[in-house]
């Protein structure tokens, strides 16, 4: 069992203790860049899980590596684009957002094989199970979409997100294990700073996910 630690009245969960790869058998990723998020102060406060692609080439750019980390900076900017008054990754987490990647090892090349995505989806499935109160699942890019579809296929469940371009899929009503699913584009990394049209759509999708969760909270 993974260790837990008390932080105030909440029970912190150490994700990296509970979600672990045992084999490292995938051939098209860099195993020395294996990264799983660390502690979550209170998993019951997580209402949105945002899944990007894979860890960055430089560990100093990971989400929790500091305010200047690339993944942190672009994610904060994405939420600011969506109209949220945030200035740090901590502010984003305070919105009830949990940040992770579909594949836990760094990319060795441009793409990631379907075999690797399926294998690593086992870890993502375990990770999603840590947040039973999450109501929105943001799939940031094709790799995240394929990973969740792989989880569903393995369990004999229907495909979560249908085939098609992300542009045409955005805004659809997709569901997965109690969560509404929002397919979007990758918010973590250098592409976010370059592709302005996708940046606008990412902001719209974040606003939609936050709006959905907040609408549910009105009835609690």
* Domain range summary for the chain, segments of one domain joined by +: 4-217
Is 19 in a helix, a strand, or coil?
Answer: coil
Say what the pLDDT of residue 7 is. 38
Q: What is the distance between the alpha carbons of residues 193 and 182, in angstroms, rounded to a whole number?
A: 21
**Per-residue tens of pLDDT for the chain, all 220 residues:** 233 333 345 688 999 999 999 999 999 999 999 999 998 989 999 999 999 999 999 999 999 999 899 999 999 999 999 999 999 999 999 999 999 999 999 999 888 999 999 999 999 999 999 999 999 999 999 999 999 999 999 999 999 999 999 999 999 999 999 999 999 999 999 989 998 999 999 999 999 999 999 999 876 5
Say what the pLDDT of residue 219 is. 62
Say what the pLDDT of residue 160 is. 97
CATH number belonging to domain 4-217:
3.40.470.10
Q: What is the distance between the alpha carbons of residues 175 and 21, in angstroms, rounded to a whole number?
A: 27
**Paired sense of beta strands 97-101 and 136-140, if any:** unpaired
Dihedral sign from CA coordinates of 19, 15, 130, 28? negative
Give the tokens for residue 162.
């249908």
**Paired sense of beta strands 10-14 and 39-40, if any:** antiparallel
Say what the pLDDT of residue 208 is. 98
Q: What is the distance between the alpha carbons of residues 192 and 123, in angstroms, rounded to a whole number?
A: 26
Q: What is the distance between the alpha carbons of residues 102 and 117, in angstroms, rounded to a whole number?
A: 7
- pTM value is 0.93
Q: What is the distance between the alpha carbons of residues 107 and 103, in angstroms, rounded to a whole number?
A: 9
Counting every residue, how long is the chain?
220
CA-to-CA dists, residue 140 to 10, 101, 185, angstroms: 29, 9, 5
CB contact set of 115 (below 8 Å; sequence gap of 6+): 26
């Amino acid at each position: 069992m993974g260790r837990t630690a008390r932080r105030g009245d909440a029970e912190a969960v150490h994700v990296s203790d509970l979600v672990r790869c045992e084999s490292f058998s995938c051939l098209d990723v860099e195993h020395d860049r294996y990264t799983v998020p660390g502690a979550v102060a209170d998993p019951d406060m997580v209402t949105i899980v945002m899944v990007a692609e894979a860890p960055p080439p430089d560990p100093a750019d990971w989400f929790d590596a500091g305010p200047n980390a690339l993944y942190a900076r672009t994610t904060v900017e994405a939420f600011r684009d969506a109209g949220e008054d945030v200035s740090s990754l901590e502010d984003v987490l305070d919105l009830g957002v949990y940040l992770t990647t579909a594949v836990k090892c760094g990319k060795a090349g441009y793409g990631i094989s379907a075999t690797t995505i399926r294998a690593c989806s086992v870890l993502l499935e375990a990770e999603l199970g840590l947040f039973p109160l999450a109501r929105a699942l943001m799939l940031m890019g094709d790799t995240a979409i394929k990973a969740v579809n792989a989880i569903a296929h393995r369990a004999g469940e229907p495909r979560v997100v249908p085939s098609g371009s992300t542009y045409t899929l955005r805004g659809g009503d997709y569901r997965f294990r109690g969560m509404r699913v929002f397919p979007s584009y990758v918010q973590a990394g250098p592409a976010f700073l370059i592709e302005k049209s996708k940046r606008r759509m990412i902001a719209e999708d974040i606003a939609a996910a936050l709006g959905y969760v907040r609408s549910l909270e009105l009835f609690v």
